[in-house]
Amino acid sequence: MQSKGCQCGGVLHRNNYPRKPRGCPDFARADFAWRFCFCCNLCRKRSTPMSVRFLGRRVYLSLAVVLQSARRAKTTTKNLCKTLAVPVRTLQRWRTWWVQLFPTTPLWQASCARFMPPVETADLPDSLIDRFSGSAAEAMIRLLTFLTPLTIQS
């Protein structure tokens, strides 16, 4: 993004801004305290690159959004909510987003046909997590990488 420059022809300079990440254990909070960003030297427009750290403007870590929204996490929902300080209403809102709004995103519309057999949208994000291979950590990294287009405004 930085090498391409701004649409106005200006040069993009690093202009990271502070975040107060939620859904993050206290020992890792400092590692996620900044959102990486660029700013044009001419028009001052901010350009935010794709990220696996946050899903767009959400203040919760993308990993927390995915893991806590998964149905398999329902048995430990209260423990996860307590540990990561996520209100139950927020968790319900995330699950609604996965089932109702995520399937309407351009990202999903463009890529859902690539999954065979088709991903069951009623079971998102579980059914999507299962499609990425490797260990649990590798599969999660692949899923978060797949979701990176959602982290910027189009």
pLDDT per residue as tens digits for the range 36-56? 899 999 999 998 888 888 887
The Cα–Cα gap between 15 and 48 comes to: 9
Average pLDDT of 77-102?
Answer: 82
The Cα–Cα gap between 101 and 69 comes to: 14
Q: Is the pTM of this model over 0.95?
A: no
The Cα–Cα gap between 13 and 3 comes to: 10
The Cα–Cα gap between 81 and 23 comes to: 8
The Cα–Cα gap between 39 and 118 comes to: 40
Task: Provide the residue ranges of all domains of the chain, joining segments of one domain with +.
Answer: 1-49, 64-148
